[in-house]
Amino acid sequence: MNLFYTLLLLCLLALLARWIKSKEAEWIGSYGEYKVRKAIKNIEATSSGKYKAFHNLYIPKQDGSTSQIDHVILSDQGLFVIETKNYSGWIFGDETSKYWTQVIYKRKEKFLNPILQNKGHIKALRGWLGEEFAHIPIHSVVVFLTRAKFKSNAHFAHAYVVYPKQLKQVLEQHQTKVIDRETKERLAQKLETVLAKDKTQEKEMKKRHVQTIRTKQKQTEQHIQQNRCPKCGGVLIVRKGKYGTFKGCNNYPKCKFTQSIG
Ligand SMILES: [Zn+2]
């Protein structure tokens, strides 16, 4: 009988371990998100109305898709668009390369350059805000958690790359008032319209966001199969390069689209 219980206990422990492992990334992700949100809420609460924060915004784009933004802070100095990154390990990257590198336990992983990613968010936000708010400065901020060690000493001209506790410093670097009270209020009202009102709506927005991304990916794949350039509509031609065979656009060098053929 004793053996039976021991085995049962071992089984349960194994299941528990597997469950924890499957949830790990999600937990670390939400913990990081929680830390940044807390830092922002703290700044907001102690600013006596100077800063107003908006979390998890889905900005509609012209093509019917949406751009998801982690946080936006509204101030008299303009808007701060914040992208959170939950990576740990050593981070290498510069402002213009398409990918950055994470090095952890001697393993290297590539991820999309968060500055370029945030640039896309800001472009979507600008497009959606329209002419009326075209004069408002928008500042780009990428926040890494302290688990990440930033290893490049590259200088970033168009974005801040910081840890949560440096956020306040970033905001305070901007002191010149560029928005009047009325404009600030109208901006706040407009930003309210792209926030999820409750959990259900948030889920719905997220679902639609993911769906449109998938549809777009499928379209891109179809175009490539039919040798149509997904970027400019040109014709794709099979070429041989240093790194193997690839499809390239006939509008090169104007269009730099390429797709390697494995
Ligand atoms: Zn092209």
Same domain, 109 and 223: no
Domain final residue pick, 141, 170, 194:
194
- Could you tell me if residue 187 is inside a domain? yes
Residue 53 belongs to domain with CATH number: 3.40.1350
Same domain, 236 and 154: no
DSSP-derived 3-state class of residue 153: coil
Ligand 1 centre distance from Cα of residue 229 (Å): 5
Same domain, 41 and 136: yes
157, burial (CB in 10 Å: exposed 0-12, middle 13-18, buried 19+): exposed
| pLDDT at residue number 145 | 87
- Could you tell me if residue 163 is inside a domain? yes
Sequential DSSP letters for 114-150: HHHHHHHHHHHHHHHH-GGGTTS-EEEEEEE-TTEEE
Same domain, 136 and 230: no
- Could you tell me if residue 205 is inside a domain? no
Residue 251 belongs to domain with CATH number: 3.30.65
Whether residue 148 is predicted with pLDDT greater than 90 in this model: the reply is: no
Same domain, 81 and 141: yes
Q: Mean pLDDT throughout 107-132?
A: 94
Ligand 1 centre distance from Cα of residue 253 (Å): 9
Same domain, 49 and 144: yes
- Could you tell me if residue 12 is inside a domain? no
pLDDT digits (tens, 9 = 90+) for 68-91: 999 999 999 999 999 999 888 899
Ligand 1 centre distance from Cα of residue 248 (Å): 8
Same domain, 76 and 164: yes
Same domain, 181 and 115: yes
Whether residue 170 is predicted with pLDDT greater than 90 in this model: the reply is: yes
| pLDDT at residue number 24 | 75
Same domain, 159 and 189: yes
Residue that has been written with the tokens 């805000």 in this structure: 129
| pLDDT at residue number 223 | 92
23 against 187, higher pLDDT: 187
Q: Using the Cα atoms of residue 83, residue 84, residue 85 and residue 88 in order, give the sign of their dihedral.
A: positive
Percent of the chain with pLDDT over 70: 98
Ligand 1 centre distance from Cα of residue 128 (Å): 26
pLDDT-derived band at 140, boundaries 50, 70, 90: very high
Strands 148-150 and 160-162: unpaired
Same domain, 109 and 179: yes
Ligand 1 centre distance from Cα of residue 60 (Å): 25
pLDDT-derived band at 1, boundaries 50, 70, 90: low
Q: Which domain holds residue 247?
A: 210-260
| pLDDT at residue number 228 | 94
Query: Which two three-digit tokens encode residue 28?
Result: 């670390």
Ligand 1 centre distance from Cα of residue 238 (Å): 13
Ligand 1 centre distance from Cα of residue 228 (Å): 8
DSSP-derived 3-state class of residue 11: helix
- Could you tell me if residue 63 is inside a domain? yes
pLDDT digits (tens, 9 = 90+) for 180-218: 999 999 999 999 998 887 888 888 888 888 888 898 899
- Could you tell me if residue 47 is inside a domain? yes
pLDDT-derived band at 22, boundaries 50, 70, 90: confident
| pLDDT at residue number 153 | 67
Q: Mean pLDDT throughout 1-29?
A: 85
- How many whole angstroms from its chain centre is CA 133? 23
Ligand 1 centre distance from Cα of residue 236 (Å): 7
Q: Which amino acid is at 97?
A: S
Ligand 1 centre distance from Cα of residue 190 (Å): 36
Q: Domain tally for the chain?
A: 2
- Could you tell me if residue 246 is inside a domain? yes
- Nearest-angstrom CA–CA distance, 132 and 32: 35
Same domain, 47 and 116: yes
Ligand 1 centre distance from Cα of residue 250 (Å): 7
Same domain, 85 and 179: yes
Lowest mean pLDDT among 15-24, 64-73, 120-129, 249-258: 15-24
Domain final residue pick, 136, 166, 194:
194
